[in-house]
Amino acid sequence: MIAEGPLSGITVVELGDSASAPFAGKILAELGAEVWKVERPSGDSSRGWGPSEWKGDGAAFHALNRGKRFIGVDIKDQTQRNELQRLIDQADVFIHNLRPGSAANYELDADSLRATNPELIYCELGAFGHAGPLNTQGGYDPLMQAFSGIMSITGEHGQPPVRAGVSIVDFGAGMWSVIGILAALHRRDVKHTGSAVNTSLLETAIAWMSVGVAGFGADGNAGERHGSGVAFIVPHRAFTVADGDLVVSCANDSLFAKLCKALDHPEWAVDDKFATNAGRLRNRAEIDGLIGAVLADHTRAHWQERLAEFGIPIAPIQTTDEMVGHEQTRALGIINPAADDELPIVGLPISFDGKRPGPLHAVRPVGHDNDSLRAAVRTRR
């Protein structure tokens, strides 16, 4: 816990498993809240995720759970559940991603918990959402990328759809949960009442499709796959250069004209086929081919220096090791080990008054803080 964090004094109970709710809990912990992570006695699923491991647990678990207190609770056991409920009675926030509909079976639903703690902020992070014919079904990130349409526009044209390489839906749902929790905490300060916050994987995935949905509403175009590019800007994609790949982004006609000068082909900028973005969209394959042929002759470093002179937004496609070792990443200080562990973990992507919250303590075994839980429940009555 960060003693001086903006959420210092806020107590959170996170009954989270896998990625989405634990990610929300980690954000809250990094903001300074005291977060009690509740695991089944066998542990969070991500403790067993591979292939990368660190000190007996999956590296993913370390990435998502640093800085919390760890308690093991069998919610099917009435005695243990009563103890958990007493902790929630004294908490500010309760967040869970239990299988839809199961919380009520254990008296962990919003009505039950807010009956004894009316100012509680209750956040349920579901799969398909809290309403509709699929609301009781479970779900994971890839399912939502599929269902929402994200996968239908991800990948190369004419090739099978692919999933984004990171769990954008899981992490996004965790972020939306935190946004909802923070808004509810503010309202509680004003109106002195708690609230139930509902978020879900599917709603998050649909939110990421906002531009695509607007486009479909405008002209009925359901979208297609453009590889590293996008549907509505050209050029705005990766090009293969002599020693790798480089993303070049020209979001307006002025930038395109500068790119043409940088590539020693100013005539493209006045060609009716390419002068406007609308024209470039119609002639995407041709202009991308012309640009690609020029870029292929030199290295990433050459083009980064050359295009930067003209103010062209560019970035090399880096591997994880290149990103971690880059001087820009190091300058931001966003990747750090805990004070009591050597494993580097990504920190909060927010700074307050120019200072990023410090690194949290390392993860603990299941049930590490059970004795602290019992003491807290006794002293806080």
- Residue 73, pLDDT > 50, answer yes
For residues 59 and 136, give the distance between their C-alpha atoms in angstroms, rounded to a whole number. 30
Residues 157 and 263 in one domain: no
User: Is 257 part of a structural domain of the chain?
Assistant: yes
CATH of the domain at 310: 3.30.1540.10
User: Is 180 part of a structural domain of the chain?
Assistant: yes
Domain end among 318, 349, 364: 318
User: Is 202 part of a structural domain of the chain?
Assistant: yes
Domain end among 279, 297, 318: 318
- Residue 231, pLDDT > 50, answer yes
User: Is 221 part of a structural domain of the chain?
Assistant: no
Q: Would you state the pLDDT for residue 1? A: 40
Mean pLDDT of 90-99: 96
User: Is 217 part of a structural domain of the chain?
Assistant: no
Name the residue range of residue 304's domain: 236-318
8 Å CB contact between 92 and 120: yes
At 363-381, the pLDDT tens digits run: 999 999 998 887 877 655 5
Residues 245 and 188 in one domain: no
Q: Would you state the pLDDT for residue 373? A: 82
Residues 247 and 285 in one domain: yes
- pTM to 2 decimals? 0.93
User: Is 324 part of a structural domain of the chain?
Assistant: no
For residues 305 and 262, give the distance between their C-alpha atoms in angstroms, rounded to a whole number. 11
Residues 259 and 138 in one domain: no
Residues 308 and 354 in one domain: no
What are the residues whose beta carbons fall under 8 Å from the beta carbon of 24, sequence distance 6 or more?
Answer: 14, 16, 95, 123, 125, 173, 174, 175, 177, 178, 181
Residues 16 and 137 in one domain: yes
Q: Would you state the pLDDT for residue 362? A: 95
Mean pLDDT of 34-57: 96
Percent of the chain with pLDDT over 70: 98
Q: Would you state the pLDDT for residue 377? A: 74
State which amino acid sits at residue 34: E
Catalytic residue among 44, 57, 92, 170: 170
Residues 292 and 148 in one domain: no
Q: Would you state the pLDDT for residue 8? A: 95
| H-type alpha helices, the chain | 20-30, 59-65, 78-89, 110-116, 141-147, 168-191, 201-208, 210-219, 253-262, 277-282, 284-295, 300-309, 320-325, 327-332, 370-379
Q: Would you state the pLDDT for residue 375? A: 80
Residues 149 and 290 in one domain: no
At 260-276, the pLDDT tens digits run: 999 999 999 999 999 99
Residues 133 and 275 in one domain: no
- Residue 3, pLDDT > 80, answer no
Please name which of 143, 123, 38 lies closest in space to residue 373, comparing C-alpha atoms: 38
What are the residues whose beta carbons fall under 8 Å from the beta carbon of 53, sequence distance 6 or more?
Answer: 59
Q: Would you state the pLDDT for residue 379? A: 59
CATH of the domain at 163: 3.40.50.10540
Residues 259 and 199 in one domain: no
Q: Would you state the pLDDT for residue 358? A: 84
User: Is 16 part of a structural domain of the chain?
Assistant: yes
Q: Would you state the pLDDT for residue 378? A: 66
For residues 241 and 179, give the distance between their C-alpha atoms in angstroms, rounded to a whole number. 41
Domain end among 277, 294, 318: 318
340 is catalytic: no
What are the residues whose beta carbons fall under 8 Å from the beta carbon of 77, sequence distance 6 or more?
Answer: none
What's the number of domains the chain is made of? 2
Residues 350 and 371 in one domain: yes
What is the CA angle 104-105-108, rounded to 5?
45
How many angstroms separate the Cα of 181 from the Cα of each of 8, 70, 102, 178, 295?
15, 21, 21, 5, 47
Q: Write out the two tokens for 115.
A: 């009956």
At 165-212, the pLDDT tens digits run: 999 999 999 999 999 999 999 999 999 999 999 999 999 999 999 999
- Residue 136, pLDDT > 60, answer yes
Residues 64 and 193 in one domain: yes
Mean pLDDT of 27-32: 96
- Residue 2, pLDDT > 80, answer no
User: Is 44 part of a structural domain of the chain?
Assistant: yes
